[in-house]
Amino acid sequence: MKNLVTWMSPLVFTAIIFTNSPAFSETTARSKKQEVNSPKHQARPTYGIKTSLYEKLNQIDNLLNDQNVLNADALALDKSELLFTQCNNCNPYELATLHRYIAWLAFETGNQQKALDHFKSITDLSPEIPLDFELAALLALAKIYYQEENFNEAWTHLSKWQQLSTNIPADIHELTARIQYFRGQHSSALAHMQTAIVLEEAEGRIAAEAWYLFTRSLFYEKEDFTACLQVQRKLVTYYNSQAHWRDLAVFYGLLGDNENQLSAYDAAWVLDGLKKEADILNFSLLLQNAGYPYKAATILEYALGDGRIASTNKSLELTARAWYLAEERGRAIASLEKASELGANGNLLVFLAELYMEADLFQQALIYFDNALEQGDLTYPGRVHLNKGIALMELTQFAAARSAFQKAQQVKATTEMATRWLAHLQHEETRHQQLQLSQR
C-alpha cells in the first residue's frame, strides 16, 4: 500500500521548500506574490508558517523518527489532528500543511477515506496555496482512487494535475495509461504508454518491464502483431528471460516467420523456458520441417521423460516420425509400440506395421496390419490391404496374399497397383513352385 503514494515525511517536505525563508517568522501573509513560470498559471500568494506551528510539527516529525516509540504513526496522527483543531488563525498555507500531515499519516495507518478527505481539503484551498502542494495532493488522490479501483475519480484528479503541470513525466503517462485502460479508453492508454516509454528511452533509461508488457498487451488487443514483435524484442534485449524468448517465438509464428520463430524457440529451450506441451510440440515440428529431425526427436523424448509432454498417441506418433526421418527406425518402432499399448488408432498401427515391413519383419507387420483393419476408420484402407498382401507374399503365403490384393483391387485408389501386384504374385508363386520341384 505504501508504495502507491510515495511521500517523504510532511515536515521534511515543508522544510526543504521553506527552510531559511522569512516565512518562518510570526508574520502571517505577505503581500508578495509567488511567480509561476508558465503562462497558463496565475500568480499565487505566498504565505509563511509561524515558528510556533513549525516547532510543533517538528515534534511530530521527531516522534515519527523515534524507533523506540510503538505505534508512532497513530500517535502522530492524533497529535496532528489535535493541532489542526487548535489552528484557529492559520493561514491557507498552514492549513494545507496540517491537512498534508493528517492525510499522509492517515494513509500510513490504513485510513484511506480520511486521507482522501484531507487531500481534497488541500485542493479546496487553491489558489491560496503553493502550486506544488496542490499538484502533490491531486496526484495522491489519483493514485489512491486508482488503488481503490475508482477509475473515473482517479482520472478526474489526474487530468486536473495535467492541466496544472508544466511538465508531464514518463511515470505520469504510465499511470494515465492504466487509468484510461480501466475506463475503457484503450487507444488513449496505448498512446500514453508509448509516450512513457519514449520519454524513458530518450533519457537513456530502460523502461520498467511491466511497461513493455502492458504496451504489448494493448497492441495485442488491436491484433497489431508487428508492433507486438517490436516490443517483445526489447523485452528479450532488456529483460532476458525464458518466458520472453518463448513469447518472441510466438509472435514470430503469428507473423509467419518460421525461421526466426525456430531460433527463438531454440533459445527458450536452452534456457529451459519451454514448459507448455503445445510449445514443445510446435518447436519439434519446426525442427523437423527445417531438416533437424534428430534434434526434434531427442527434445520430444526428453520432454516425455520429464512429464512436460503427456504420453499420448499424438505425442508418441510425432516422436516416432521424428526418429523415422532421422533414420532411427528402431527408436521409431519403440515409440509406436508404446502408443499401441495406449490403444493406438488404426492409422498409427498402420505406420508401425509399415516400419516393421521396412525392417523386413513381415510377421510382426502382419500383426499390426490385421489390428489396424480390425479397428477400421483408416485413411488409406486400400494401401493397408496392398501392403498386407506384399508382406504375405514375402512369407510365401500366396493364397492369403492373393486375397489381400483382391481386396485392395476393390478400392479405387489402389485398383491399378493391386492388379500389377496380382500379376507379380502369379509370377512369384510359379517361380516358387518351380524352385521347390528342382530341390526334390
Report the pLDDT value the prediction gives residue 163, as an integer from 0 to 100.
93
Mean pLDDT computed over 120-135: 92
* pLDDT for 15 beyond 50: no
CA distance 407 to 409: 5
Q: Based on the domain organization, do 145 and 287 belong to the same domain?
A: no
- Listed residues 151, 167, 183: the one ending a domain: 167
What confidence score (pLDDT) does residue 365 get? 92
CB atoms within 10 A of CB 227: 18
Is 233 inside any structural domain? Answer: no
Residues ≥6 apart with Cβ < 8 Å to 216? 228, 231, 232, 235
**Is residue 237 in some structural domain?**
no
User: Is it the case that residue 362 has pLDDT exceeding 50?
Assistant: yes
Q: What is the pLDDT of residues 180-220, one digit of tens each?
A: 999 999 999 999 999 999 999 999 999 999 999 999 999 99
Are residue 134 and residue 22 in the same domain, yes or no? yes
| 396 pLDDT above the threshold of 50 | yes
Domains: count for the chain:
3
Q: Rounded mean pLDDT of the chain? A: 86
Using pLDDT thresholds of 50, 70 and 90, give the confidence band for residue 27: very low
Judge whether residue 35 has pLDDT over 70: no
Residue 227 within a domain? no
Are 36 and 145 in a shared domain?
Answer: yes
pLDDT of residue 10: 41
Phi, psi of 91 (to 5 degrees): -85, 170
Q: Give me the pLDDT at residue 14, please.
A: 37
pLDDT at 440: 65
What is the pLDDT at residue 38? 47
Query: 403 and 336, same structural domain?
Result: no
pLDDT digits (tens, 9 = 90+) for 66-90: 888 888 888 888 888 888 888 888 9
- Write down the number of H helices and E strands in the chain: 22, 2
pLDDT score of 140: 94
Name the residue among 409, 411, 337 with its Cα closest to residue 380.
411
Write out the three cell numbers for 38.
508558465
Q: Which of 55-64, 145-154, 305-314, 332-341 has the highest mean pLDDT?
A: 145-154
Q: How far apart are CA 171 and CA 203, in angstroms?
A: 13
Percent of the chain with pLDDT over 90: 57
Tell me the per-residue pLDDT of 278-300, one tens digit each, with 9 for 90 and over: 999 999 999 999 999 999 999 99
The candidate with the shortest Cα–Cα distance to 199, out of 178, 227, 174, 235, is 174
CATH number at residue 432: 1.25.40
Residue 348 pLDDT: 86
* Residue recorded with cell 511491466: 210
Local confidence band at 42 (pLDDT 50, 70, 90 cut-offs): low
Q: Assess whether 370 and 440 both reside in one domain.
A: yes
What mean pLDDT comes out for the span 330-348?
Answer: 86
Task: Check residue 67 and give its pLDDT.
Answer: 85
Question: Residue 11 CB: number of other CB atoms within 10 A?
Answer: 21
DSSP state of 208: P
d(C-alpha 279, C-alpha 281), whole Å: 6
Q: What is the model's pLDDT at position 40?
A: 52
Whether omega for the bond prior to residue 293 falls within 30 degrees of 0, making it cis, is: no
φ, ψ (nearest 5 deg) of residue 47: -105, 160
Q: Which of 34-38, 85-89, 132-136, 382-386 has the lowest mean pLDDT?
A: 34-38
CB burial string 112-135: b at 16+ within 10 A, e below:
bebbbebbbbbbebbebbbbebbb
Do 294 and 391 reside in the same domain of the chain?
Answer: no
User: 193 lies in a domain?
Assistant: no
CA 268 to CA 298: how far, in whole Å? 16
Domain end, chosen from 148, 167, 186, is at: 167
CA dihedral 109, 180, 205, 241 (to 10 degrees): 90
Q: Are both 391 and 296 inside the same structural domain?
A: no
Residue 19 binned pLDDT confidence (cut-offs 50, 70, 90): very low
User: Is 10 found in the same domain as 75?
Assistant: yes
Exposure of 40 by Cβ count < 10 A (0-12 exposed, 13-18 middle, 19+ buried)? exposed
Whole-number Å distance between alpha carbons of 358 and 159: 75
- Looking at the structure, do residues 14 and 151 belong to the same domain, yes or no? yes
**Averaged pLDDT for residues 93-99:** 91
Residue 15: CB partners within 8 Å, gap ≥ 6?
none
- What residue numbers bound the domain in which 292 lies? 275-344
Same domain, 337 and 370: no
In this structure, the answer to whether residues 35 and 106 fall within a common structural domain is yes
Q: Within a domain: residue 290?
A: yes
Tell me if residue 271 falls in helix, strand or coil.
coil
Does the pTM exceed 0.85?
no
Choose one of 167, 196, 216: the last residue of a domain: 167
Residue 405 lies in a domain: yes
Quick check: 12 pLDDT over 50?
no
Supply the DSSP symbol for 35.
Answer: P
> Bridge partners of 29?
47
User: 179 — alpha (psi -120 to 50), left (phi > 0) or beta?
Assistant: alpha
Judge whether 241 lies within some domain. Answer: no
Considering the domain architecture, whether residues 146 and 295 belong to the same structural domain is answered as no
Under a CB-based contact definition with an 8 Å cutoff, are residues 378 and 353 in contact? no
Residue 6 forms part of a structural domain: yes
Q: For residue 105, what are the CA distances in angstroms to 33, 138, 217?
A: 31, 17, 37
Residue 41 pLDDT exceeds 80: no
Q: Which amino acid is at 260?
A: N
